[in-house]
Structures are given as structure tokens and as C-alpha cells.
Amino acid sequence: QVQLVESGGGVVQPGRSLRLSCAASGFPFSSHAMHWVRQAPGKGPEWVAVISYDGNTRYYADSVKGRFTISKDNSKNTVFLQMYSLRVEDTAVYYCARPPSYYDIFYPLDVWGQGTTVTVSS
């Protein structure tokens, strides 16, 4: 079945880096854009980044631009979120998510992972 499984979360000090992974299965990963969305404790979802199906187009939220990098390895069916210069306000559950359409970035998100928790604290 269609599945997304995130990993790589943990506790990290401010200013440090962390890389999240999201392993996909059950669908043609190389044909889909992929997103990261985060949710701070007690808050609503915040969209973070998207990468196109072929990795050639990437968009970021202003809050992470220049600090986070999204990438995609179609040979491994995995999307990554490399996070640098982490801040306390980056503390959240991070979800990867997939739009239902092939190739299109501008679509809603119909498949979500279970999330991985990132805590930034000294």
C-alpha cells in the first residue's frame, strides 16, 4: 500500500544540523513531487518545502529559506530535509506528504507520513 515513513528526528542544540528522511513505497515515487510540512506543539500545520518530481524545482517557506534544503533520490524512493542552523522555533513534528497527481507541484496533499519529532533545545 501507499506509505511514507519519516526518520531522523531527535533532540538537537540550537545552531546544529539535522537531516530528516522519508522513505516512500507503494507508488511511482519518481513521478511525484514531495512536500515537508511541520507542526509545532499545539499549533496548526506549517508548510515547509516542496521538490518537483525530477528534483529540478524547489520552493521553501520564508521561515526556513537559506537554512533548510529539500532533496530527492528517485533511485532510493526517498526525500530528505537537510536542516542547518536550527532554532528553538524549529521544534515540531515534521511530516512528509505527497500530492496525488503525477508531476504537478500545485496540488493538495493526500498521503502523509506519521511524522518525526525534532526538538531544538539547549
Partner 1 sequence: EIVLTQSPGTLSLSPGERATLSCWASQSVSRSYLAWYQQKPGQAPRLLIYGASSRAAGIPDRFSGSGSGTDFTLTISRLEPDDFAVYYCQQYDTSPFTFGPGTRVDIE
> Measured from the CB atom, is 7 or 13 closer to partner 1?
7
Which element (helix H / strand E) includes 97?
strand 92-98
By CB under 8 A, residue 84 contacts partner 1:
no
Q: What would the grid cell of residue 68 be?
A: 533548510
**C-beta neighbour count of 113 within 10 angstroms:** 22
One-letter amino acid at 55 equals G
User: CB of 61: closest distance to partner 1 in angstroms?
Assistant: 5
User: CB of 87: closest distance to partner 1 in angstroms?
Assistant: 18
By CB under 8 A, residue 107 contacts partner 1:
yes
Q: Give the footprint of partner 1 on residues 21-40 (CB under 8 A).
A: 35, 37
> Measured from the CB atom, is 41 or 75 closer to partner 1?
41
Report DSSP state, residue 3. Answer: E
Q: What would the grid cell of residue 79 be?
A: 526525500
Q: What would the grid cell of residue 25 be?
A: 513505497
Please report, as ranges, the residues that interact with partner 1 according to CB under 8 A: 35, 37, 44-47, 50, 59-62, 95, 97, 106-110, 112-115
